[in-house]
Chain A
């Protein structure tokens, strides 16, 4: 069964550094998402991406964050000038249509980001 893959599984970064989290969505999917889960808290939506642009973003997704689809297969989340509170599990998801068509979002295994 096709799956969403994320790399790396664990990323350790010094505070203030930039980090790029990578995702390969399911190949025929058109909508892409990032979520995060701070330890012990809920899974929170960050951003959705369609047709090479952001379609929706949360208050969390400020200027520190950016997303990109650099080629036909990868979808990346960049966090600039990381802070301690960015430490979390980051999940990528994809779906082959938007919510109106009820195509469920399929998630990767996540990248655990640890900021020191």
Chain B
């Protein structure tokens, strides 16, 4: 079945760039998403990319997609302490309604 994997933890200094990586197995993946979860809160949609794109930029966020390697990354420029959270990669395809989530990457931003 489908599987989505992420590294568990990333620590950066304020002002640096953060890069969170994700790999997936479903070659039928159509849409790939990044969600952010702050402590005690729900899943906030950050951005998404269609599988026929290889890059999408949205303010400080850049999503890169390598469909051949089934690799997705989220780059956060000028990372702030408020960016500290868990970041989830998720994928879906047109055959199904469900999202398949990765394990989540805990980003810690230190001053």
| Chain B residues near A50 (CB-CB < 8 A) | 97
Are the CB atoms of B97 and A33 closer together than 8 Å? Answer: yes
Docked Cα-Cα span, A6 to B43, in Å, equals 13
Task: Report B82-106 CB contacts with A as 1/0, cut-off 8 Å.
Answer: 0000001010111011111111100
Q: How large is the interface on A (under 10, 10 to 19, 20 to 34, 35 or more residues)?
A: 20 to 34
Task: Check B27 for interface membership: any CB of A closer than 8 A.
Answer: no
Given contacts A42-B102, A43-B101, A48-B98, contact A99 B93 (CB under 8 A): yes
Q: Name the CB-closest residue of A to B50.
A: A102
> Residue B98 contacts which of A58, A104, A107 (CB distance < 8 angstroms)?
A58
A-B contact count (CB 8 A): 61
Is A11 in contact with chain B by the CB < 8 A criterion? no
Q: Least Cβ distance of B78 to chain A in Å?
A: 24
Chain A residues whose C-beta falls within 8 Å of the C-beta of B43 in the assembled complex: 43, 91, 93, 107
What's the dominant secondary structure at chain A's contact region?
A: strand
Q: Report the minimal beta-carbon distance from A6 to chain B, rounded to whole angstroms.
A: 8
Chain A residues contacting B92 (CB-CB under 8 Å) are 99
Residues of B within 8 A of A42 (CB): 101-104
Cα separation A110 to B44 with both chains bound (whole Å): 12
Residue from the list A99, A105, A110 in contact with B94, Cβ < 8 A: A99
Q: Which of A35-56 contact B (CB under 8 A)?
A: 35, 42-45, 48, 50, 55-56
Contacts of A100 in B (CB 8 A): 94
A sample of 20 inter-chain contacts (CB < 8 A) reads: A6-B42, A35-B99, A35-B101, A42-B102, A42-B103, A43-B43, A43-B104, A44-B101, A48-B97, A93-B43, A98-B97, A99-B30, A99-B93, A99-B94, A99-B97, A104-B33, A107-B44, A108-B42, A109-B40, A109-B41
Question: Which residues on B are within 8 Å of A, measured CB to CB?
Answer: 30-31, 33, 35, 40-45, 48, 50, 88, 90, 92-94, 96-104
Residues of chain A whose beta carbon lies under 8 Å from any beta carbon of chain B = 4, 6, 31, 33, 35, 42-45, 48, 50, 55-56, 58, 91, 93, 98-100, 102, 104-110
